[in-house]
Structure formats: C-alpha cells, structure tokens
Amino acid sequence: MNILSIGGSDPSSGAGIQSDIKVFSKLDIHCLTVITAITGQNTSNFGMVEPVSKNILENQLESIITDFKIDGIKIGMVYNSEIIKTLYHHLKKLKIPIVVDPVIKSTTGGMLIEKAAIIDFKKFIIPLATIITPNKFEAEILTKMKINSINTPEKIAKKIQRMGAKNIVITGIKIKNKKISDFVLEKNKKYYITDKEISKINRGSGCIHSASVLYSIVKNKNIKKALEFAKKNTFNSIKNSKKIGKGIAITNMEESNEMKLLNSINEFTKIKNIYKNIPECQTNFVYSKQKPKSIKEILGISGRIVKSGEEVIVAGDLVYGGSKHVATALLTVNKKYSKIQSAINVKYKNDTISKIKKLKLTTYDYDRNHEPKNVKNGGSTIEWGIKNAIKNSTKPPDIIYHKGDFGKEPMIIVFAETPDIVIKKILKII
C-alpha cells in the first residue's frame, strides 16, 4: 500500500512530513511525500517558514502521480494560496480517499498558513476532503464561530460540510468526567467518539490522528471504525510521549497489540503460495493480553483469513474475542506457559510435519479418537486436546497438531511469544 503525505517539513520530527513517515512506517505502509514548505522549529520555539516554489511543488506531484499507485492522500500544511491552488489542480480528479488535516498553528505558536490563504483553503482544499479532521480551535477559525451552547459542534460541522467536505470530525471537545470527545458528522449520521483526557501537552497528536484515520479508511472503508482506531492510536501516542528536546514532549506511537498482529497478518497473507496452507475451516491469527482470563482478552479476526482461488483475504476485523477455536487453544497453552501469547492455525500436511520434526521444534500432538463422549457431544474439544497434548510437557510448544477424526479436519497450530515470531516459524515449516 502506498500513501501520499503532503505537508511541511519539521526538523524536530515532531509533526509534519517526518511524523507521517514514522506513523506509516510503523503501520507497514510505504509513505510517499510531497513537501509544501520548510520550517525552522523545535520543541520550544518556532522560527520561520519557507514555502516551496510552484515549480518544485508541481515537479514533486507529477513525479509521484505518474510513477506510483496511490491508495490514499493526507494533506497537512499548505502555507499559501499558490500552493493550495496547485494542489487542487493536480488532485481534483483523483478518486481515492483524501484526509485533510487543517493545520493552522503549531504547538509552539507559529502560523502554518497565511491568513489571506484561509479563504482559498476553504474554497479549494476542503472540497477535496473525504474526511477533514480539525481540532476545536481549527474548526472555529474555519467557520468564524465559537463552539458553545448555541453554536454546537454539530452546527459548526454542518457549516464545514457545506464548504464541500464529505465527512467531518472535530477533535478535542471536552466533556464532563475527565473525558474528551471527537464529534463526527457523516453524510447521514452524527455521533461522538469519547476517551479519557490526558493532560499532557505534546507535539504531533493531530498528525498522528489524521495519518491513522487515513490508514484505517484505506484499509477497511468504514469511517466510524477508522476514527475509533485513530482515537485509540492517538491516545496511546500521547500517553507514551517523550521529552526529547528542551521543550514540549513529542508524541510517540508505540506498536499496540492490534498493530503488531495486523502487521503480522499482512506479512502472512504475502507469503508465496500461502493459500495452499489455509485449511478448509480457514485460518485465524490471535494475540493475547498478558495472562488472559478468557478468549475475550485475546485479539483475533472476527471472520477468518480465507482463500479465494490463489488469493488470501482477511475477512473481518481485529477484535478481542474475535476468535473462538484458535483463541481457546492459545488460552489453554498460556495457562501453563504464560510467555506464549500468539498462535495461528494452518493446514495439516505430512510434509509440513516432516519439516517440523527435522527442525527439532518442540512439538506435541493429541488423538481426537480418544475424546470422551461428553467432550465430543458439546464439551470443549480444543481445550481437552491441548490440555492432553501438553499435560506432561516441560517446554512450551512451538507446534501442536492432531490428525483429525470422522468429520473433523486435521490441524496444525503454531505458537509463539509474539505474532512476528509466529511468522518466523511459519516461514520455516511451509
């Protein structure tokens, strides 16, 4: 996947193009860039802005558009009217998601757009937006209206929507009980997305939020899910922010369980001929919290990883409790070996078992023919099988398999501490 980030260069890497590159890299996305301006700033002070010329801006755009398939675009800093009009000319016919982050002022106080250019921003950039993500301050600047009991977030959002944006999310609206909300206005519905407020002053949260929105909307097309993912990702980034320089802390996007598993799922689907290793019951890939108490604390795909001809497709979303069978296997192993937090099931093949044995991986098996009747008739077959496989074990399993039973497909399950280690084992055995 290729995502194009259009915006300003921040030498502190706290925001702008540099921040987007970091975010998309952690999400395993190739980030293309078009720089609109060079800024001189750090965590304490804002120096100056030098917008790029129309010629170099056009050359950047043409270089990228003519060479790469672009799956989505994020527009950040657009300093003046010339930049705005140039971008509009090149992007207006593209039929791909565009997220607009209307950056107006830096955290350290520098103006990131000329006041005279705001009119053209509203005329040319906002209509490009699949989603526009102003914070409360930016929404008020764009509409010349203060958010209050009369001018509600909905009223403000509708005014921005009339400017041409398809979907609007106004971030950073404080509510009671130390909560902070994002107000969302889609075409035919409105809602809030709420989380705890973190009092930390930081740089880069808006950039991380808009980049996360674009990533998720390109991946699953669902606006609400994209905004929920972005909210969670931004919250964690603020919580993990680091004071690197002498001034304001910079947001730090650490890989969440969701991101770790998602990246490994993407890697799994790209393995050559992997469709040959998808069983008839299809595949799930799971990752648990520390010492999970139930499958509700184990992340999995709500559907499955399924084969469609020679393609492999992820059918469903990552949710806690999204898997029953593989999650149950992992939960059972984790009760004895708490370091084992990830697992995947693949098709049983004799040659795969031969490879496993040659590699001297720690392997256990169980015989489904020996299942008690009460287990066969409604008990937890998987729990019974895994318990029996590791009952007398002294080492955590790499592999547990069974050869099936009447009407029951044989199966191999690969276990490891993390999803990326699961992938390493998969690459060895298939």
Contact present, 81 and 120 (Cβ < 8 Å)? yes
Segment of 59-63, 185-189, 240-244 carrying the highest mean pLDDT? 59-63
Contact present, 299 and 318 (Cβ < 8 Å)? yes
Tell me how far apart the alpha carbons of residues 258 and 279 are, in angstroms, rounded to a whole number. 24
Distance of CA 96 to the CA centre of its chain: 18
Tell me how far apart the alpha carbons of residues 250 and 236 are, in angstroms, rounded to a whole number. 12
pLDDT tens-digit readout, 290-333: 999 999 999 999 999 999 889 899 988 888 999 999 999 999 99
CB atoms within 10 A of CB 163: 17
Residue 321 dihedral angles phi and psi, to the nearest 5°:
85, 10
Which overall architecture, per CATH, does domain 260-429 show?
3-Layer(aba) Sandwich (3.40)
pLDDT tops 70 at residue 87: yes
Token reading at 92: 């207006």
pLDDT tops 70 at residue 11: yes
pLDDT tops 90 at residue 420: yes
Radius of gyration of the chain (CA): 25
Question: Which is it for strands 2-9 and 72-75: parallel, antiparallel or unpaired?
Answer: parallel
CB atoms within 10 A of CB 175: 11
Mean pLDDT of 392-411: 92
pLDDT tens-digit readout, 244-258: 888 888 887 777 788
Contact present, 305 and 282 (Cβ < 8 Å)? yes
Q: Higher pLDDT residue, 203 or 263?
A: 263
Tell me how far apart the alpha carbons of residues 239 and 307 are, in angstroms, rounded to a whole number. 39
pLDDT at 323: 94
pLDDT at 178: 67
pLDDT tops 80 at residue 196: no
Which residue's structure tokens are 């990326």? 420
**Extents of the domains making up the chain:** 2-254, 260-429
CATH of domain 2-254: 3.40.1190.20
- Percentage of the chain surpassing pLDDT 70? 97
| H-state helical runs in 302-392 | 325-336, 350-358, 373-376, 381-390
Which residues, other chains included, contact 162 with Cβ-Cβ below 8 Å and sequence gap of 6+? none
Q: Higher pLDDT residue, 240 or 307?
A: 307
Contact present, 288 and 417 (Cβ < 8 Å)? no
CB atoms within 10 A of CB 382: 22
Mean pLDDT of the residues in the chain? 90
Which residue's structure tokens are 């680091």? 242
pLDDT at 322: 92
pLDDT at 379: 61
Nearest to 196 by CA among 229, 236, 230: 236
Mean pLDDT of 361-384: 84
Tell me how far apart the alpha carbons of residues 56 and 9 are, in angstroms, rounded to a whole number. 14
pLDDT tops 80 at residue 172: yes
pLDDT at 254: 72
Q: Higher pLDDT residue, 258 or 31?
A: 31
pLDDT tops 80 at residue 197: no
Mean pLDDT of 197-220: 83
Of 84-93, 95-104, 268-277, 405-414, least confident by mean pLDDT is 405-414
Which residue's structure tokens are 């001018």? 151
pLDDT tops 80 at residue 373: no
Q: CA dist 28 to 59, 141, 302, Å?
A: 27, 35, 22
Mean pLDDT of 419-430: 96
Tell me how far apart the alpha carbons of residues 278 and 182 are, in angstroms, rounded to a whole number. 40
- Percentage of the chain surpassing pLDDT 90? 62
Mean pLDDT of 219-225: 82
Mean pLDDT of 355-370: 93
pTM of the model: 0.72
pLDDT tops 80 at residue 207: yes
DSSP code of residue 42: -
What is the biggest distance separating any 2 CA atoms in the chain, rounded to whole angstroms?
79
pLDDT tens-digit readout, 328-341: 999 999 999 999 99
Q: Which pLDDT band holds residue 418 (cuts at 50, 70, 90)?
A: very high
